[in-house]
């Protein structure tokens, strides 16, 4: 798939944490009100990410009517959010919390409402606190991708990063 994302030189391989979620199990360490994965979010993508071998994962998302952009197809921003969620979850296999620094999406085909989008994702490697990932999406045939993505995630101190915002957090009612 065509992309203009350029990976920097000097990316080092990274290693799965020994206590990481086992292959085949859902990576389930985020909160229930998350727009990307939360079951209690008022509006959300409800993406389930499953750990794969090594530093890989898979995920699925149902394309619902509220996700419409162009007539009959998913909005590009919704797909972008889905890639962000999938790729942002995979660094948990390193047991390192991250936030998105840079996200790049390549749209290859329109995705119809009612589809199930399947995602594959892997961690390419890292440099210091920077973790690079890539992902692709298909509608059932992995040899026919409909979109791809690359991202840079930055490892954060979870407590410190959200310290000024926790009083604004929304909780399940």
Contact positions toward ligand PKZ, by CB under 6 A?
Answer: 30, 36, 84-85, 88-89, 92, 97, 99-102, 128-130, 152, 154, 156, 158
CB nearer to ligand PKZ: give 72 or 172.
172
Q: Which residue's C-beta sits nearest to ligand PKZ?
A: 88
How many residues in the chain? 173
Q: CB 79 → ligand PKZ: shortest distance, Å? A: 14
60-64 — which CB contacts under 8 Å span 24+ positions?
60/116, 60/117, 60/118, 60/119, 61/116, 61/117, 61/119, 62/115, 62/116, 62/117, 63/111, 63/112, 63/113, 63/114, 63/115, 63/116, 63/117, 64/113
CB nearer to ligand PKZ: give 158 or 170.
158
Separation between Cα atoms, residue 41 and residue 46, nearest integer Å: 8
- Are the CB atoms for 82 and 60 separated by under 8 Å? no
Q: CB 86 → ligand PKZ: shortest distance, Å? A: 8
CB nearer to ligand PKZ: give 21 or 115.
21
Q: CB 66 → ligand PKZ: shortest distance, Å? A: 20
CB nearer to ligand PKZ: give 17 or 129.
129
Q: CB 72 → ligand PKZ: shortest distance, Å? A: 27
Q: CB 61 → ligand PKZ: shortest distance, Å? A: 13
Separation between Cα atoms, residue 91 and residue 98, nearest integer Å: 7
């Amino acid at each position: 798939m065509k992309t203009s994302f350029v990976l920097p030189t000097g990316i080092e391989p990274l290693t799965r944490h020994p206590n990481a979620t086992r292959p085949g199990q859902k990576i389930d360490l985020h909160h229930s009100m998350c727009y990307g994965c939360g079951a209690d979010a008022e509006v959300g993508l409800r993406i389930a990410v499953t750990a794969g071998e090594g530093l890989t994962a898979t995920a699925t998302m149902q394309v619902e009517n509220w996700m419409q952009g162009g007539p009959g197809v998913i909005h590009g921003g919704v797909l972008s959010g889905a890639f962000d969620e999938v790729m942002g979850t995979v660094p948990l296999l390193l047991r390192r919390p991250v936030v998105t620094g840079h996200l790049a999406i390549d749209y290859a085909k329109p995705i119809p409402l009612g589809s199930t989008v399947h995602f594959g994702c892997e961690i390419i490697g890292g440099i210091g606190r920077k973790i690079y990932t890539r992902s692709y999406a298909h509608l059932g045939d992995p040899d026919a991708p409909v979109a791809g993505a690359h991202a840079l995630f930055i490892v954060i101190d979870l407590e410190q990063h959200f310290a000024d915002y926790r009083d604004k957090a929304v909780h399940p009612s």
